[in-house]
Amino acid sequence: QVQLVESGGGLVQAGGSLRLSCAASGGTFSIYAMGWFRQAPGKEREFVAAISWSSSTIYYADSVKGRFTISRENAKNSVYLQMNSLKPDDTAVYYCAARKSAVKTQEYEYAYWGQGTQVTVSS
C-alpha cells in the first residue's frame, strides 16, 4: 500500500554532489525503515544505505561510507541521500525502498520500492 517516488537524479561531474529525495505516501511513514539501493548496467542491485524509523540506526555500504549521508524527515514523509565526492563508479539507477519494523541491509527484506532515478557521473 506504500508508494515511493524518487527524484533528484541527473548528470554530474566526478567530484560533484547530488541529493536524492524519496517521497512516500499510502502508509504511516514513521513506522517504516528506509533504504537506498542502486543498480548499474549489467550488474546486480546492491545496498547503499539504510535508516531506522527513528534515525537511531544507520548503515552504509563500504563503497559509499564517508561520502554519502542518509537522512529522513518523518514530518514530510521523505528520506534523502546526500551524495558527495561522486565517482564514475557511482553511476546507476538509485531506488528507495521501505519495510516495516527493524532496519535491514538485504534487498529481499524490503517490500515496497520506488521506480528509480538515474544518476550519471562523468569523468
At 35-49, the pLDDT tens digits run 999 999 999 999 999
Q: State the average pLDDT over residues 29-39.
A: 94
Q: In whole angstroms, what is the distance from residue 100 CA to residue 102 CA?
A: 7
Whole-number Cα distances in Å, 114 to 47, 87, 88, 95, 123? 15, 23, 23, 6, 28
Average pLDDT over every residue of 41-58: 96
> Residue 32 pLDDT > 90, yes or no?
yes
7: confidence class by pLDDT, cuts 50, 70, 90: very high
Kindly report the average pLDDT of the chain as a whole number.
96
pLDDT higher than 90, residue 67:
yes
CA–CA separation, 48 and 27 (whole Å): 23
Asked whether the beta carbons of 98 and 4 are under 8 A apart, the reply is yes
Does 29 have pLDDT greater than 90? no
Average pLDDT over residues 65-82: 96
DSSP 34: E
Residue 96 CB neighbours (<10 A)? 29
C-alpha pair distances (Å), 101 with each of 13, 48, 85, 122, 123: 37, 19, 32, 38, 40
The pLDDT value recorded for residue 31 is: 87
pLDDT of residue 4: 96
